[in-house]
Amino acid sequence: KINMETEIDKWVKSQNYEIVEEPVINANVPVPYLTNGTPAFLYTINCVYNYAFIPMSYTNYELLEQYGYTPVKLGYENSNGPILSANGDLRIYLILKKNEHIEITYHYFLIKLKEYLDGYFDDVAISNNDILINGEKVLGGAMIEHNGLLIVVFQINFINKREDIINICGITPKIPGCIDSSVVTAEQIKNEFLSWLTL
């Protein structure tokens, strides 16, 4: 297993990322990196806004406003409605240069995140693009290709938004949950993620 991963690991670490803590998240934040083809690790934890990452077809802005969420379109389609993100959650926006000789998937990072969380929690499971702890969804994300770049986004919940999710999205297939920050913090997970990207 280690030999199979080594080439990907080395390639991931060879990209020389710009590492930036962003004060806010909106559609403009990644633009300079995408335009210049610059690998980057952009993240936000402490942020004054609560965000709703909305699918392209979403229209119910009034409902989001009512619950205090700022809508952000990141150019994806999702049948489950908006992804809610609150001040204190960890949001990661990773940009990598594609390599035609190396195949990497979103699950490369998802598996690493699960293995890290296994060190803190007994019941951690991958379900499609999500991670569940004790059967509750605490982490979701996606991978998008754009102009020879791979964009990997993660929403990692540390704030309990269950009521808001039910009120805005209806009853969801997976029970919304959050990571207990007295067990592991957003800062710790961010630093672990960075350790996979830097030499």
For residue range 39-62, list pLDDT tens digits in order: 999 999 998 889 998 888 888 999
| 100: pLDDT strictly greater than 50 | yes
Please give the C-alpha separations between residue 30 and each of 7, 27, 46, 158, in angstroms, as whole numbers.
Answer: 27, 7, 18, 23
Collapsed DSSP state (helix, strand, coil) of residue 107: helix
CA dist., res. 113 & res. 94, Å (int): 14
Query: Residue 94 pLDDT > 90, yes or no?
Result: yes
Helix locations, the chain, DSSP H: 2-13, 31-36, 61-66, 106-118, 162-169, 186-197
Identity of the residue numbered 179: I
| Residue 76 pLDDT level (bands cut at 50, 70, 90) | low
Confidence label for 35 from pLDDT (cuts 50, 70 and 90): very high
In this prediction, residue 5 has a pLDDT band, given cuts at 50, 70 and 90, of: low
Note the pLDDT tens digit of each residue in 148-194: 999 999 999 999 999 999 999 888 888 999 999 999 999 999 999 99
**What's the N-to-C CA distance of the chain in angstroms?**
20
84: CB partners within 8 A, 6+ apart: 50, 51, 52, 69, 161, 164, 165, 168, 169
Give yes or no for a contact between 95 and 32, defined as CB atoms under 8 angstroms apart.
no
Query: Which pLDDT does position 142 carry in this prediction?
Result: 86
Specify the pLDDT at position 187: 98
Q: How large a percentage of the chain has pLDDT more than 70?
A: 94
